[in-house]
Structure 1
Amino acid sequence: MAVRARIDHLVTSGTFSLDGGTWDVDNNVWIVGDDEEAVVIDAAHDAEAILAALGGRTLRAILCTHAHNDHIDAAPALAEATGAPILLHRDDLPLWKQTHPGRLPDGELGDGQRVPVADVEFEVIHTPGHAPGAVCLHVPALGTVFTGDTLFAGGPGATGRSFSDFPTIIDSIRERLLTLPSGTAVRTGHGDATTVEAEAPHLAEWIARGH
C-alpha cells in the first residue's frame, strides 16, 4: 500500500545569532504529513509562511532539530496560531532560553522516541556535536532522515561556536547517521539535500580537515 504522507519544503530567510555575531541565513522548513495533518520540522523565521504552507491541515507538533535561534525563532508564534506543541531535546534548553527566555518548549524529543503523523512515524536520533541537544529525525517509510545542522551535502555542521564540539559531531554522524540504509535521503537544515551513500565515503576527509 502506498504511503499517504508526503514531504513539503519551504525556504525562509532571517538571521542566525550566536556568540555576539549575526549572519543572514536561508533555512529549510520541512512539513511532513497527509491532507489532514502534519508536523513541522524547524519553524524558522516566518510563522505566517509556514501556516500558509500547511494549508489548513492540523499541525500535530513542531519538531526542533536543535535550538539555534534560526531554527526556532518562529516556533512560539506558530504554536500559538495552531495549538501544536513545541518539542525539543532537553540538552538544548540553554540555547533555547537565549532566544525565548520566557517560553519553554512543551515537551521533549528523546533518543529512540517515536512521533507518529499521518501513516508514518519519526524515529528520534540524538546526534550531539553541532549543539548538545541536536537530533535527527528518521522516517523509514519515506526513506528520509531530517538532519538539521548535523550533516549537510559535503560534510558535518559547524562546530566553531559555543555549545559545539567537532569530535562529538563526527561520532554522531559515524555511529548514528552513516549506519542508516545507504539510499536514505538526507534533508538538511540549510542548502541542498543529499544521501547517506553520497556522504559516507568522505568521513575520513572531514576528520582530516577537522572543520
Structure 2
Amino acid sequence: MIDRVVTSGTFSLDGGTWEVDNNVWLVGSEREVVIVDAAHDAAAIAERVGDREVRAIVCTHAHNDHIDAAADLAARVGAPIMLHPADQPLWEMVYPDLPYTPLGDGQVIGAGGVELSVLYTPGHSPGAVCLHAPELGVVFSGDTLFNGGPGATGRSFSSFETIIDSIRERLLTLPGETVVETGHGESTTIGAEAPHLQEWIARGH
C-alpha cells in the first residue's frame, strides 16, 4: 500500500530559495506505515496517516525541503526520524540540536508487511539514500533520480560523477519494470530511464 501526499514550500541552499512541491510517501498497510520524507506540512501528512502507527520517518536526504516538517511530524506521530549520517552538515542547517537514528546501507525497515531496503546513493547529497521495496516493485528515489534524469548537482556537497555512479550501480541494476517514485514530480520506471545514461553523462548535469 502506497499513499502520496504532495506538500508545497521552499527549498533553500547556497543563498538561493525556490518554490517547490514535494512528494511525501506513506508505505505499509492499513495498520502501520513508514513515511518517506517529511516535507513542509506536518499537519497534512499526519492527517493522511490517520490512526495508523508510524514505524519511522525516513529522510532520503537532508536538504531542507525534505526535512523541514520532520521534527513537528515526529512529535505528532511518535516516530523516530532516520537519516544517513553523511548528511549531518545539511541536517544541522535546519536542526542544530535534534538527534536522529542513523541509517545504514543495506538496512531494512519494515511496516505492514512491506520491507524497505536502504540503498546508499550519494551524489545529490553526501548521505542520499533510496528505498527499494522489491515485493512492491518500487524504489523511492528521493532526489537521486527523476523522470528525465539525475537530480540536480553542482551545489554545495554535491557531485555529478558520484550521483551517476550511484544511479548506474545501485538503481539501473534493478529490474526494468521497477517503478521509481520520486521526491518531486511524476513517477517513472528504471526501464524508461536506463537508456538515457550516456545522454546524462554527455550533458554533464
TM-score relative to the length of structure 1: 0.96
Q: In the alignment, is the contact (CA less than 8 A) between 2:180 and 2:187 conserved in 1?
A: yes
1:92 equivalent in alignment to 2:87: yes
Which residue, 55, 75, 84 being the options, matches 1:80? 75
Q: CA deviation at 1:104?
A: 2.0
1:128 equivalent in alignment to 2:102: no
* Consecutive aligned runs of 4 or more in structure 1 exceeding 4 Å deviation: none
Residue number in structure 2 paired with 1:145: 139
Which residue, 38, 47, 52 being the options, matches 1:43? 38
Whichever residue aligns with residue 191 of structure 2, its letter is: E
Residue segments in structure 1 that go unaligned for 5+ positions in a row: 1-5
After TM superposition, the structure 1 = structure 2 runs for residues 1-211 of structure 1, keeping only pairs within 5 Å, are 6-105=1-100, 107-211=101-205
Whichever residue aligns with residue 24 of structure 1, its letter is: E
Q: CA deviation at 1:210?
A: 0.3
Identity of aligned residues (%): 68
Q: CA deviation at 1:102?
A: 2.1
Residue segments in structure 2 that go unaligned for 5+ positions in a row: none
Q: In the alignment, is the contact (CA less than 8 A) between 2:132 and 2:138 conserved in 1?
A: yes
Within 2, Cα distance between the matches of 1:201 and 1:125? 21
Q: In the alignment, is the contact (CA less than 8 A) between 1:187 and 1:194 conserved in 2?
A: yes
**Per-residue deviation, residues 110-143 of structure 1 (Å, max 9, x unmatched):** 1000111111100000000000000000000100
Q: Secondary structure at the match of 2:2?
A: strand
